[in-house]
Amino acid sequence: MASRPPAHRARKRFGQNFLRDPGIIARLVRAIAPRPGERLIEIGPGQGALTEPLLEAAGGRLEVIELDRDLVPGLRVQFFAYPDFVVHEADALTFDFRALRGDGAPLRVVGNLPYNISTPLIGHLLEAGDAIADMHFMLQKEVVERLAAEPGGADWGRLSVMAQYRCAVESLFTVPPEAFVPRPKVDSAIVRLTPYAAPPFPARDEALLFDLVRQAFGQRRKTLRNNLKGRIGGEALEALGIDPRRRPQTLSVEEFVRIANHLASEEATP
């Protein structure tokens, strides 16, 4: 059993909101379903509210990444009885998850992510590719809605395409502000991201694909013909079976890949 964590005031610059609701914590651990022998990584353990049940479920093996140096000594004291508990004092935004995996099994990553870094951190983790088996995150509800959106809706955008190109995305459940201390001003939600072994619609040049998506969503109210002007013409889009009058938020991942692969083949042609 872990000892009681020392008092700590949440820091705005780290976007800290500590999860306190035992019912939400239990539900989240059930959704993650950690098993002994797995390589479980928690980002931003804070005062360890989620850490202890994760340790127990994972057979006492857990690694955490914590940026706030003031929290690290308390975590080490709180979980000293677990010999396989490891603290990495680091910024998850620059942490090398591929190196952490090494030659071992892919990592299972979990965390209650600060709202101010959630989008860039997910992007960083997606770049880690096969180093990650799956991810379970508590995020601002609006971000989860964007990650799990479907084409044609107001939430479908650049983040949706980038995430769903590489992962199966599931929105699991909503978490109210009163589950945290201090209370955030918005609802949160739990999302599961499971990277594909291979993308269902592989791009010949992923950098080109993501740059195309960025350009397409540059002005959501404009048509593809306007947003992609100078890159691909209306006739070429029509030849690909895509109406150039459509707006970017109506295109599926497969359609964006179709355009990107056409452009990649043109660039490859001498």
| Six token digits for residue 89 | 């004092």
Q: Does 58 share its domain with 180? A: yes
18 in any annotated domain: yes
> CA 139 from chain center: how many Å?
9
d(CA 26, CA 10): 23
Q: What is the pLDDT of residues 89-144, one digit of tens each?
A: 999 999 999 999 999 999 999 998 887 888 899 999 999 989 999 999 999 999 99
Q: How far is CA 232 from CA 222, 225, 254, in A?
A: 15, 8, 17
CB-CB contact of 191 with 146 (8 Å): no
Give the chain's mean pLDDT. 90
Domain boundary among 146, 173, 195: 195
Q: Does 104 share its domain with 220? A: no
CB-CB contact of 103 with 4 (8 Å): no
Q: Does 88 share its domain with 160? A: yes
Q: Does 21 share its domain with 127? A: yes
CATH code: domain of residue 46: 3.40.50.150
Q: Does 162 share its domain with 211? A: no
CB atoms within 10 A of CB 3: 12
Helix (H) or strand (E) holding 142: helix 141-147
**pTM of the predicted model as reported, rounded to 2 decimal places:** 0.89
Q: Does 220 share its domain with 252? A: yes
The upper half-sphere exposure of residue 125, i.e. CA atoms within 13 Å in the direction of its Cβ, equals: 29
Q: Does 162 share its domain with 225? A: no
Provide the residue range defining the domain that includes 49: 12-195
Q: What is the pLDDT of residues 175-219, one digit of tens each?
A: 998 988 878 788 999 999 999 999 999 999 999 999 999 999 998
d(CA 97, CA 85): 17
pLDDT at 7 over 50: no
> What confidence tier does 270 reach under pLDDT thresholds 50, 70, 90?
low
pLDDT at 38 over 80: yes
52 in any annotated domain: yes
Domain boundary among 160, 195, 230: 195
Q: What is the pLDDT of residues 54-79, one digit of tens each?
A: 999 999 999 999 998 999 999 999 99
Domain count, the chain: 2
Q: Does 99 share its domain with 219? A: no
Q: Which residues touch 113 (CB under 8 Å, ≥6 apart)?
A: 43, 44, 121, 137, 138, 139
Q: Does 74 share its domain with 103? A: yes
Sign of CA dihedral 64, 190, 70, 90: positive
Q: Does 83 share its domain with 159? A: yes
Q: Does 44 share its domain with 178? A: yes
Range scoring the smallest mean pLDDT among 16-25, 99-108, 160-169: 16-25
CATH code: domain of residue 246: 1.10.8.100
Mean pLDDT of 236-249: 97
Backbone dihedral angles phi then psi of residue 170, each to the nearest 5 degrees: -130, 125
3 in any annotated domain: no
> What confidence tier does 39 reach under pLDDT thresholds 50, 70, 90?
very high
Q: Name residue 62's beta-bridge partners.
A: 85
pLDDT at 10: 42
Strands 188-195 and 167-175: antiparallel
Q: Does 148 share its domain with 255? A: no
Closest CA to 108 of 35, 183, 166, 52: 35
